Structure 1
Amino acid sequence: MGGAERNARKRRQQQSSGGKAVAQARGGGDMKKVVAVVVGVVLLAGAVIGGVLWTNASKNATEGEAIPTAVEPGAEYPVERDGVTVVSGEQDAPTTIDVYADFLCPVCAQFEQTYGDQIEQKVAAGELKVRTHMLPMLVERSDPAGYSLDSANAALCAADEGQFRAYHDSLFASQPEEGKRGYDKQQLIQLGRDLGITADTFADCVNNGTYDQQLTAKMEQVKNDPALEQDFGGGNKGFGTPTVVSGGEIVDFSDPQWLDRLTASAQR
């Protein structure tokens, strides 16, 4: 190969290498950036879709689920419905408490978890009578709205069938999350069946909202009762659940010994 030919070949190689370098400088890096952006967008979209699906699944966690039944108390004692209040225990029990609660209220569930067994034992021993007021205070705080009212009505329907305590305990033990889906009427009816309620009158009572109007009226009455008003600090006063009243006075149940103190003072 002559010198002229070698020089010509070298020039062609240099031109080819230069063209590739220019192409890389102009487009190669940009292409990598484009691919990276596309991958990022796909991953972000996947995360958003996954988040939406998770949120929807979380919001509707109770859909189609059976409500687990709580163990029925072994002790026998009178339980009867008095309007939209359920009275548990002997009529001549030395101590009476009124408990105002909402089946959607998280603090009410904590109250039951902390003190439910103690209350049950004292009722069974004849030391305590409990007047339970289930209220639709958080009726707008489920999605869809209405669970507080439906569950309160269903508990009264269960009381008519002699299963209030087990029904009450079951709803608190498997409480839906506030702001999300509660249990629908069919689930509330099925809970009654699982607790041994076979009468068609129970299902009719739940479906028809037999006590809805009375419960709504009771809620308005309670909210406007100055004797039930509490100071929550920061100038915030009003009624809240749970509220416990004995002898016309609101009980401070933050004291772990509150129930023992009440029953002991009645026995003096």
Structure 2
Amino acid sequence: MGGAERTAKKRRQQELAAKSDGAKAVAKARGGGDTKRTAAIVATVVIIVGIVIGGLVWTNASKNATEGQTIPPESVAAELPEARDGAVVVVGEESAPITVDVYADFLCPVCATFEQQYGEQLKEQVEQGTVRLRQHMLPMLDERSDPPGYSLDAANAALLAADAGKFTAFHDSLFASQPEEGKRAYDDEQLIQLGRDVGITGDAFAEGVRSGTYDDLLQREMQRVADDTSLHRDFGDGNVGFGTPTVVADGEMVDLADEAWLDKLVASQQG
């Protein structure tokens, strides 16, 4: 083989080696890109899964916020005369010149706002002998807790608390720590513990809460109230019916948009 041939052969070998090295470099580069892409995809999936799991954990914790809690008992400044009259709890003296009927649900957030705004004022008027308060605690929102049933359970427990002479403290405690509508409320054992904490002794209260002593009575009262057209009002969207809170004073429905309704009512009797 001549020198020229050897030179040409060597050049071809070098060219083939260069091509081989280039192909390896390209393959390596491509492989590196795939690895980076794969790592990025895996990281994204991990982040998404973390967000989903975190969201589920937060949602579940929020939904079950009342689980294991003890309902804080509210103290009552003065012992008010109270007695159960069927499905109604009457607070105050029969001789009081003004009778106020309050229709409410323990799960109703507007009812809780009503209590915050007027609860103490009403108790003051009861204590002074001006107002006799008739509390109608209704299971109107019984399907709005998870699981359903809290409105009825709470109303039943409140009537049992009235039998024990502790309705006002029990009633105030449930509104002060009202569970959120659509989520877990309080179970029977939590209601029973609240009864103990406001001073209810004996086994009758706990037994009555667990067995639903007044469930049928309350459901009949709910139906009666819903059918009573004198308690219906126009909600402004073409929907006319009963809603909570509803307040009636001496047979006349109160306009709760007038924040001075109670002062005016008391003034009218004193004038």
User: Which segment is superposed worse, 116-125 or 99-108?
Assistant: 116-125
| Letter matched to residue 101 of structure 1 | A
Give the number of equivalent residue pairs.
265
Residue 199 of structure 1: how far off its partner (Å): 1.2
- Match runs of 1:77-226 below 5 Å: 77-226=80-229
Residue 95 of structure 1: how far off its partner (Å): 1.0
1:27 aligns with 31
Q: Quick one: distance in 2 between partners of 1:39 and 1:255?
A: 58
Which of 229, 244, 249 is the aligned partner of 2:232? 229
Which of 35, 38, 41 is the aligned partner of 1:37? 41
1:68 aligns with 2:103: no
Deviations 1:27-85 (A, max 9, x none): 332322221111111111111111111111111111111111111x2223311110010
User: Which segment is superposed worse, 28-37 or 105-114?
Assistant: 28-37
Residue 11 of structure 1: how far off its partner (Å): 5.1
Residue 115 of structure 1: how far off its partner (Å): 1.0
Q: Quick one: distance in 2 between partners of 1:9 and 1:166?
A: 99
Provide structure 2 residue ranges, at least 5 long, that are not aligned to the other structure. Answer: 1-6
Q: Quick one: distance in 2 between partners of 1:121 and 1:15?
A: 98
| 1:94–1:267 Cα contact (<8 Å) kept | no
Q: Secondary structure at the match of 1:234?
A: coil
Q: TM-score, normalised to structure 1's length?
A: 0.93
2:4 aligns with none
Residue 19 of structure 1: how far off its partner (Å): 2.6
| Letter matched to residue 150 of structure 1 | D
Residue 113 of structure 1: how far off its partner (Å): 0.8
Q: Secondary structure at the match of 1:252?
A: coil
Q: Secondary structure at the match of 2:84?
A: strand
Residue 117 of structure 1: how far off its partner (Å): 1.0
Q: TM-score, normalised to structure 2's length?
A: 0.92
Alignment RMSD (CA, Å): 1.9
| Letter matched to residue 78 of structure 1 | P
Residue 8 of structure 1: how far off its partner (Å): 8.6
| Letter matched to residue 48 of structure 2 | L
| 1:94–1:263 Cα contact (<8 Å) kept | no
Q: Secondary structure at the match of 2:133?
A: strand
1:250 aligns with 253
User: Which segment is superposed worse, 180-189 or 23-32?
Assistant: 23-32
Q: Decide whether aligned partners of structure 1 residues 69 and 9 sit closer, same or farther in structure 2, where only a CA change above 3 A counts.
A: farther
Provide structure 1 residue ranges, at least 5 long, that are not aligned to the other structure. Answer: none
| 1:80–1:87 Cα contact (<8 Å) kept | yes
| Letter matched to residue 59 of structure 1 | K
1:239 aligns with 242
2:22 aligns with 18
Q: Quick one: distance in 2 between partners of 1:171 and 1:91?
A: 26
Equivalent pairs: percent with the same residue? 61
